[in-house]
Structure formats: structure tokens, C-alpha cells
Amino acid sequence: WLWPMVAAIHLPNGLFIAMATWQPQDPWLVAAAVATEQLGYGFGFAAYLMVMIWAAEGPSQTAHYALCTGFMALGMMLPGMGAGWLQEQLGYLNFFVWCVIATVPSFLAAAWLRIDPEYGKKAE
């Protein structure tokens, strides 16, 4: 399920490129696009949480998971701090194109992962 979840968190960003291009005025269309993005984010973020749990396994699992959570929060906070400035510099369309390009490292990181196919399965 890793790849569908990676796609779910990133592909809805394309909706924002479409919205920046066509600038729809229908609030239901805008709400549907935002709902799709939120659904994709929630589904994809679950994969990220599972990777953090997987990476934290070991004798200090709680501490390692806390560190992963801290890096995750930093990874969301730092880009968010400059996002408004960057959008003003690039404009909406180019900003969302940049957002899609910025997802490439996530796809590369997911390809790099080597998770045991038996991980998380109940032992008999």
C-alpha cells in the first residue's frame, strides 16, 4: 500500500495547479478540490506515520518515535514559514508547480525504503 498512499498525499497537488490555472468561481468545485486534497493528505500521512513507527523500532522506540515526530513537525514548519513569501514571488500557478516538483524527494525516499513484506503481520 506504500505507493498508493504516497500518490494519495502528493497527486492532489495537481488539483491546485488546475485551480490556479482555471480559477473556478464555483464554491462547490473549490470545496471538492480541497476535500480531495484533505482526504489524500490523511490517507498518505498514515503511511508516513507507519514508516516512522517502523524506523523507530528497537530498544528506545518511544524516544526514537518522538524524534521522528519532531523532525516531521520541523519539516512542516520550516517550509510553511516561507510559503507566503515564495507564493508572492512566484504567483499562484508557479507556486503550485513548485509544490509538485518539491514532492520528488518523497517519491525517491519511498523508492529507497526496504520494508520487510512480513512487517506488521500477525505472527502465528
Instruction: Give the model confidence (pLDDT) of 49-91 as tens digits.
Output: 888 888 888 899 999 999 988 988 898 899 899 999 999 999 9
CA distances from 96 to 66, 84, 108, 123 (A): 31, 12, 20, 44
pLDDT at site 54: 86
pLDDT at site 52: 86
The 10 Å Cβ neighbour count of residue 35 is 11
Report the alpha-carbon distance of residue 53 to residue 48 in Å, rounded.
9
Instruction: Give the model confidence (pLDDT) of 85-117 as tens digits.
Output: 999 999 989 999 999 999 899 899 899 988 888
What average pLDDT does range 15-23 have in this prediction?
A: 93
Cell of 60: 528506545
Report the alpha-carbon distance of residue 92 to residue 12 in Å, rounded.
16
pTM, rounded to two decimals = 0.78
pLDDT at site 115: 83
What average pLDDT does range 13-39 have in this prediction?
A: 93
Task: Quote the DSSP letter at residue 124.
Answer: -
